[in-house]
Amino acid sequence: MREAPTPVQRAIKYGWAPLVALAATQMLEQGERQSLAQAVDGIQKTFHVSKTAVSFLPTAMGIVAIAGAIPLGILADRVRRTWLLAGAMAIWTVCMGLNGLATTYVFLFVARMGVGMVEANGSAATSLLSDYYPVRDRARMFGLYQSGALVGAIIGLVGGGFAVKYGGFRWAFLFWIPLGIATVLYLMRQPEPVRGHQDRDFGDDLDAVNPGGIDVGGLSELRALLPEPRRVGTLDYATATPREVGRELMRIPSMWFGVLSLCIGQMLLNGLQFWGVDYFKEVHGLDPAGAGALTGLLGAGSVVGILGGGFLSDRYLRRGVINARVYVIAFGSIAATLVLMPAFAATSLWVTAPLMVLGGVFLTLPVAPAEAMVSDVVVAQLRGRASAVRTIVRTVSVAGYVIIGVLADQIGLRWALVWTTPLYAVGGVLALFATRHYPHDLAFVVAESRRRPDGGADQ
């Protein structure tokens, strides 16, 4: 009989290719949004609309994502996730072409809604990442996955700036089509991981990379690191009704504190990324290419933050600090507020530029640990649907586009950015409420994965 793979063998057998494929979806989605920011002036002049009207374009994408979230979430728990993700990105690529062909504001608005609906595919990506790589590396892998968004943002800001400058606003959308096709083909070649195995091995994989350290090789030893679960699983995940799934998710308090923190933080991040180019144009008098390049400073710092947050929280998790991910979320959120307020208030590039780099670090420091945290506390068989529910709740974050747009029409873009920045600190404080619940919720997932070692889901 063939021996089962050890935790280390299972953790590395998928390699880097799936991570690159999933990160590519983030690159496309986030990069295209930054290209949209570069196209704002062209859209206003071509269709004769205000900043408030333009702000509804990304807002519509977020709202319509609700329509796609639930069906894509259910499918992510029941079908081959790699093919599901590839299909969604194929539709996304077609919709990008329609964006570039828009002849009226209404046409463009409807095309943006089509893009937004399939961008609800995060359910499949979240579920895949959690099953490709072990719990001890989950925040780091989410950081690398999210770094795809940062790469896309830089491409969108810089490449989109030149595309708009030399080809007009339509090329902010059209130049993503070849990358979309390549991503679809690459996704279709990726393996489908077994659901829940990485959760079952939590503790074993910690011991494997920390020999002589914390001994959590089995369930009894794991309890020295994790508390006892506060509940016992009784749900049949394969046949559970939507109501039963909803009740199960409502019993995970740390997930909801994490979602609220992500929602508030994303509200600010969305607004800053969308209006950042216009900020540099209006306050510092730069052209589209220059504004895109300087907004890229925020992205440069963000690369450090999004990767550093994952590495930092995983490092302390290995040392036995179960709430490490929560602490990193809170620290980054509060520090970002303290740095970015003076960055946007300043009128000198010599002050704004270095603060933007540092602010970018703190702004994205919470992203990877927050995504990992809300995945840690949901059993593998429900991660797709849980991610869909989180997508719906987090839809309120699209208000960031409109809040800043409306305030900009009233008090100017500079002060609109200054006075919305403290929202990020609020998200960090909310995350701290999860410290009482997260260890117990994580212990429940580990116990459930060992109770159902086959994963209990269709492959």
**What are 114-131's pLDDT values in tens digits?**
777 776 678 888 899 988
Can you give the pLDDT at residue 206?
Answer: 46
Higher pLDDT, 317 or 121: 317
* Confidence class for position 207, pLDDT limits 50, 70, 90: very low
Whether 245 maps to a domain, the answer reads: yes
* Confidence class for position 56, pLDDT limits 50, 70, 90: confident
Whether 217 maps to a domain, the answer reads: no
Closest CA to 187 of 94, 77, 78, 84: 84
* Confidence class for position 449, pLDDT limits 50, 70, 90: confident
Whether 216 maps to a domain, the answer reads: no
Whether 7 maps to a domain, the answer reads: no
Can you give the pLDDT at residue 62?
Answer: 67
Whether residue 199 has pLDDT greater than 60: yes
The count of C-alpha atoms lying within 13 angstroms of the C-alpha of 444, restricted to the half-sphere facing its C-beta, is 23
Query: Rounded to whole angstroms, how far apart are CA atoms 345 and 334?
Result: 18
Q: Hey, how many other C-beta atoms are within 10 angstroms of the C-beta on 103?
A: 9
Higher pLDDT, 237 or 212: 237
Can you give the pLDDT at residue 169?
Answer: 81
Can you give the pLDDT at residue 453?
Answer: 53
Contacts of 245 (CB under 8 A, 6+ apart): 382, 385
Whether 345 maps to a domain, the answer reads: yes
Can you give the pLDDT at residue 210?
Answer: 40
Check: CB of residue 195 under 8 Å from CB of residue 381.
yes
Q: What is the DSSP string of 146-213?
A: HHHHHHHHHIIIIIHHHHHHHH-TTHHHHTTHHHHHHHHHHHTTSPPPPTTHHHHTTTHHHHHHSTTS
Whether residue 200 has pLDDT greater than 80: no
State which of 38-47, 250-259, 388-397 shows the largest mean pLDDT.
250-259
Contacts of 395 (CB under 8 A, 6+ apart): 62, 63, 65, 66
* Confidence class for position 9, pLDDT limits 50, 70, 90: very low
Whether residue 141 has pLDDT greater than 80: yes
Number of domains in the chain: 1
* Confidence class for position 454, pLDDT limits 50, 70, 90: low
Closest CA to 359 of 302, 279, 291, 274: 302
Higher pLDDT, 145 or 160: 145
CA distances from 445 to 201, 315, 326, 393 (A): 11, 21, 17, 22
Can you give the pLDDT at residue 164?
Answer: 79
Can you give the pLDDT at residue 328?
Answer: 94
Domain coverage including residue 297: 15-196+241-451
Q: What is the pTM assigned to this prediction?
A: 0.75
Can you give the pLDDT at residue 149?
Answer: 80
Can you give the pLDDT at residue 295?
Answer: 67
Whether residue 451 has pLDDT greater than 50: yes
State which of 224-238, 265-279, 343-357 shows the largest mean pLDDT.
343-357
- CA torsion sign for 129, 392, 257, 248 is negative
| pLDDT tens for each residue of 80-94 | 999 999 998 998 898
Whether 5 maps to a domain, the answer reads: no
Can you give the pLDDT at residue 320?
Answer: 79
| pLDDT tens for each residue of 378-427 | 988 889 888 888 777 777 776 777 788 888 888 888 888 888 888 888 88
pLDDT, average across residues 22-28: 90
Can you give the pLDDT at residue 289?
Answer: 67
Check: CB of residue 100 under 8 Å from CB of residue 171.
yes
pLDDT, average across residues 440-457: 73
Whether 40 maps to a domain, the answer reads: yes
Whether residue 212 has pLDDT greater than 50: no
Residue found under tokens 């057998």 = 13
| pLDDT tens for each residue of 365-379 | 998 898 899 889 998
pLDDT, average across residues 353-367: 86
- Domain CATH number, residue 140: 1.20.1250.20
Whether 304 maps to a domain, the answer reads: yes
